Every structure is written in structure tokens, then in C-alpha cells.
Structure 1
Amino acid sequence: MQNITAEELKQRIDNGEQLNIVDVREPHERAEFNIGGTHIPLGQIQTMQIDEIDGLQEQEVIVYCRSGNRSGQACMILETMGFTNVKNLTGGMLNWQDKIK
């Protein structure tokens, strides 16, 4: 698992890159604030219910949550499932909201 900073990800989004972004927070957290991407709560990843990202095993997948902890867990799980290029958003949405104005 690699890490990506809020600034790096924001720059790539602003550049219009096609990114595979996964939000592993709960629905109420996503409703408060999100940066887009596919919503797959961590519990679904833990039970391997990830049809939404099936086929992305060889592509970059960027995972985020509130603080970076759950997304780190999700990255490790995805790696055991054969995903070869997963990145954890350092500090999650708390860091994003603090750094990105």
C-alpha cells in the first residue's frame, strides 16, 4: 500500500485525470462531505462485496475515509484480494478539509 496526500489527489482531480476513488465511510459520513468516487463502506469490503470495483485489480485505486484508518484497512484487504496498486489518502477527509481550501 502506498499513500497519497490531499494535495496530490486534489491536483490530479483538478487536472481531469480519470481516477478510481473509493470512499469507505458510512453513508451518513459521505452525506456530510465527500470528494466523489465509488461508495463502498468498509464492512462491504471486509465481506468482499465489491462488485463496483471488480476488474480494477491491475489499476490504481485510491481509498479514503474520515481519518485514514479505515481506508488503510481497506487497502490491506484489497491487496489480499489481488489489487496491486492501492493508495490510501493520508489523513482522510479531516486532512482534506484542513489542507484544501
Structure 2
Amino acid sequence: MATSSADDATLEAFGVDLDITVAGAFFAGAANTAALILGLWLLKKGVRRGYRRRREVQELRHQADATPTPAAEPAGRDIPADDPVSDQADAPPDPATQRPANP
């Protein structure tokens, strides 16, 4: 409970003077305390969430490591290795055989 007081106080910070009542200083301090408590609570919640998320990712990685994976099959067409067309498909185009763009 705040008692009424007509006394003014002067707050001075960073070269700025601020005239404020004693009750105003009290309520400003109470608001700052509430903001500090709220900030600490949010920080606590964030740390707990991060810990749970890291633990879940670690468990999922362990599960993925324990799960056997099927043998990887090559993607693409089944082309024999000695096929001359398949060798040309991967080679860059020969500029001597291409037509010029502007005749």
C-alpha cells in the first residue's frame, strides 16, 4: 500500500534531470521488477525448450544410426559401361560440330 506524499524527488541520470513523486518512483521500480521477473521466466522457458529440442534431435540421430539402410542403387538408366553413346552424353559438346547461332 502506498501512502500519499506530496514530496518530489529529482532523478538525475546521463545529464537529464527528472522530477518525480515518491509514489511514481515506487511504481516505476515495481514495474521494472515485474519486467525483470517476466524476462527471467521467459529465459528459463527458452532454455528448457532448447534442452528438450537438443535431446529429441539426439534421440532421433541415435534411432537413425540404429536403423539399417538398404543398399543404395545407382540412379538413372541401366547403360552398359562400354556403350559409346553413354560416354558422349557426359562429354561437353564439340564446338567444331555445332552450327553458329547467327548465319
Q: For this structure pair, what is the TM-score category when the shorter chain's length is used for normalisation?
A: under 0.3
TM-score by structure 2 length? 0.15
TM-score (norm 1): 0.15
- Structure with greater proportional helix content: 2
User: More relative contact order in 1 or in 2 (CA 8 Å, sep 6+)?
Assistant: 1
Bigger fraction of residues in strand: 1
